Structure 1
Amino acid sequence: MTDTLLLSDAEACAPSVTHAIGTEAAAAVAGALKALADPLRLRMLSAIASDPRGESCVCDLAELADVSQPTVSHHLKVLKDTGLLTADRRGTWVWYRIVPGRRAAVTALLDAFAPATVLGTPDHEDAGRAETLRDMDARVTRLAEELADELTGLNRDLVVAIVRESYAGLVRSAKVTRHMIPLTERFARQRLADLTRDRETGAPQVLFVCVQNAGRSQLAAALLNQLSGGTVIARSAGSTPAADVHPHVRSQLTEIEGEPEAGSAFPKPLTDDAVRAADVVITMGCGDVCPIIPGVRYEDWAVGDPALASPEGVAAIRDDIETRVRALLTTLTT
């Protein structure tokens, strides 16, 4: 009897390994990660991925650190041997670019894994998040009813559904605090405005998109709203929103918008309705793919990630974005 029980317990708790990564695939991934396990190599990869030209010269990459030219060449060779980079010699210099088939992997590393590793979320915040979620449903229901009562020109069921979808979209990643209900209301109102917007009338609308909507896209939207003076409406969203705006970027938003407005910035999920409502959709060099809507103009800006940059790098990225925003504004207002 005891033997039977022991066997049953062993069978019950035996883990399934049928879906584990294969041995050969694990070895290949581990080899690539080992090659990337060097701070200078990661900085080189980031510089190449975000270079507006789509490629970087060895002479540019040598400025990232005070090391010899042979050391720079060694690190680039390691990255090239992993299959992440391809090289092209022109005269006395060699130019490097991301292999097209590996760009999605590089994007995931630099725009998702790296920021999550640097910023992280304390365990006590996760515990508080779970407790807050249990008390939130009734408040969301009340908000939905209040907006439906206010927006009498829209179908009531639609308003309620949008509020609940907006909350669900935000709660997957956003920090659940006392601000969750106001954020849900703002996001729901924005989505309802998108659903009813006629792109033939009103101010031009621009949607900036990046993976986490925590850095480049927030900064670009703030700069365009400031420089346009209301003649253009700028919005931002992310395919996989982060929990919060990156601290480096929040300080920049404070300089641009002032404390109250910058404090209300939050990462938002990308929706089809936001794309449909936009006149221009701009992805921020992070590999995101947006729905293709007829009549919408699409651009991609290769811009560095301020979340991982030095203070000097953040300032340079802001200047780069501002230059692009000014050029865009000229095309929208002339």
Structure 2
Amino acid sequence: MTTLTPAPDDAACAPRHTAADHAIGTDAADAVATALKALADPLRLRMLSAVVTSPDGQACVCDLAELTDVSQPTVSHHLKVLRDVGILTSQRRGTWVWYRVAPAYRGAVTTLLDRFAPAALAVDPDAGSRPTLMTGLTDVDPALDRLADSLAARHPDVPAGEVRRIVRESYTGLARRGGMPLHLLALTEHFAGQRLADVERATGDHGPQSAAARPPQVLFVCVGNAGRSQLAAALLHRYAGTRVVVRSAGSMPAADVHDTVRPLLAELAGASDSGDDGTAIFPKPLTDDAVRAADVVVTMGCGDACPVLPGKRYEDWVVGDPALASDQGARAIRDEIDRRVRALLADLLPDLDLPN
């Protein structure tokens, strides 16, 4: 009788441990699958994208109905699906319901839209026939023109030609950061809108009475606008809300916020009464407009890159860079920035009741 000897490959396939030892748990898999099922609809993904990239991080049904020809009740149904699994939260104001991404899901949604989506298109064999995620200035000209017209209507005190220049300059500056942002036009709208508000503040006719009535403006500057300046802006906004206008920028803006900083920003946004950190969480280049509009300019490790203008209060904060810090180290840096922000606010707004 001939004895059959197992092939070497068959022997190599013998399991050394059960799959259950390292596979995701059943309950966790069910929860993740439920969320993914809610997201597995093109219209819901577009709605989620519109919510997360809106200037104030929220949208109502009437805003989202413009994405498609479906009725508002259908839009409300899709939003309810995302809300029921916890991805979106809602708040009724008068006759409208406003939606925003739940704090616990902000990091995941950013990863989905800015990292997973580009990767999914990149590996698709048919991706060559699809529109690119980030077209050049030539391709995007009509969209930039429409954006400039919209912003010009919102900022009538700024000449239309100046609005167009700022829009195109903002788009180019953000594109130069590198990376592959999925929503470059939406980021351009937010950044250009900030710059136009700064231009109006810096060049407007502000008499002594109006100047005293307007809230102070603080600009935080670091190298990449990916860590320290973002944390400082989020902390200041958490404590002062609309009583202070806050901006952040980088002398050499990074492609994205540091991974060690994102969870800290999410915690601050979740603790804010407004549910918003007051600044869009993406690195932005430093502009003269922001410096001219600021009453206080705080630099953190960017040397003399920030222009020095008369009549401004300048502070240089020597704090660590959380870029390569451990989670514990990043939190220690956050706490040091928190201490300095509190001291600054105690000077700017002596009557502000700061939490312990």
TM range (shorter): 0.5 to 0.7
Secondary structure of 2:310's match?
coil
* Alignment equivalent of 2:134, drawn from 132, 135, 151: 132
Kept in 1, the 8 Å contact 2:251–2:302? The answer is no
1:222-267 deviations in whole A, cap 9, x for unaligned? 0011111322222100011001111111111100013974694110
Match of 1:188 in 2: 192
Which consecutive unaligned segments of at least 5 residues does structure 2 have?
A: 1-114, 351-356
Match of 1:276 in 2: 292
1:320 shift after superposition: 0.4
Aligned length: 213
Secondary structure of 1:253's match?
helix
Q: Distance in 2 between matches of 1:213 and 1:267?
A: 5
Secondary structure of 1:282's match?
strand
Match of 2:169 in 1: 165
Q: Which amino acid aligns with 1:212?
A: G
Secondary structure of 2:242's match?
coil
Q: Distance in 2 between matches of 1:172 and 1:307?
A: 20
Secondary structure of 2:225's match?
coil
Q: Distance in 1 between matches of 2:172 and 2:148?
A: 13
Kept in 1, the 8 Å contact 2:260–2:326? The answer is no
**2:333 is the counterpart of 1:317:** yes
* Alignment equivalent of 1:256, drawn from 252, 262, 268: 268
| The 10-residue stretch of structure 1 (228-237 or 322-331) with the greater mean CA deviation from structure 2 | 228-237
Q: CA RMSD in A?
A: 2.7
Kept in 2, the 8 Å contact 1:210–1:217? The answer is yes
Q: Which amino acid aligns with 1:189?
A: G
Q: Which amino acid aligns with 1:165?
A: E
1:178-197 deviations in whole A, cap 9, x for unaligned? 42111101111111111111
Q: Distance in 1 between matches of 2:150 and 2:244?
A: 30
Match of 1:206 in 2: 218
Match of 2:310 in 1: 294
Q: Distance in 1 between matches of 2:140 and 2:181?
A: 10
Kept in 2, the 8 Å contact 1:205–1:277? The answer is yes
Q: Distance in 2 between matches of 1:160 and 1:258?
A: 35
Kept in 1, the 8 Å contact 2:158–2:200? The answer is no
* Alignment equivalent of 2:181, drawn from 177, 180, 205: 177
Kept in 2, the 8 Å contact 1:209–1:288? The answer is no
1:157 shift after superposition: 0.9
Kept in 2, the 8 Å contact 1:209–1:281? The answer is yes
* Alignment equivalent of 1:234, drawn from 237, 246, 249: 246
Secondary structure of 2:298's match?
strand
1:221 shift after superposition: 0.6
Kept in 1, the 8 Å contact 2:157–2:200? The answer is no
Q: Percent same amino acid among aligned pairs?
A: 57
Q: Distance in 1 between matches of 2:169 and 2:300?
A: 26
1:174 shift after superposition: 5.0
Higher helix share: 1
Kept in 2, the 8 Å contact 1:211–1:286? The answer is yes
Match of 2:342 in 1: 326
Kindly tell me: are residues 234 and 264 of structure 1, through their superposed partners in 2, closer, same or farther at Cα, counting changes over 3 Å? closer
Q: Which amino acid aligns with 1:132?
A: M
Q: Which amino acid aligns with 2:298?
A: I
Q: Which amino acid aligns with 2:190?
A: R
Q: Distance in 2 between matches of 1:141 and 1:294?
A: 35
Kindly tell me: are residues 286 and 151 of structure 1, through their superposed partners in 2, closer, same or farther at Cα, counting changes over 3 Å? closer
Kindly tell me: are residues 288 and 221 of structure 1, through their superposed partners in 2, closer, same or farther at Cα, counting changes over 3 Å? farther
1:286 shift after superposition: 3.8
Q: Distance in 2 between matches of 1:247 and 1:167?
A: 24
1:141 shift after superposition: 2.1
Secondary structure of 1:247's match?
coil
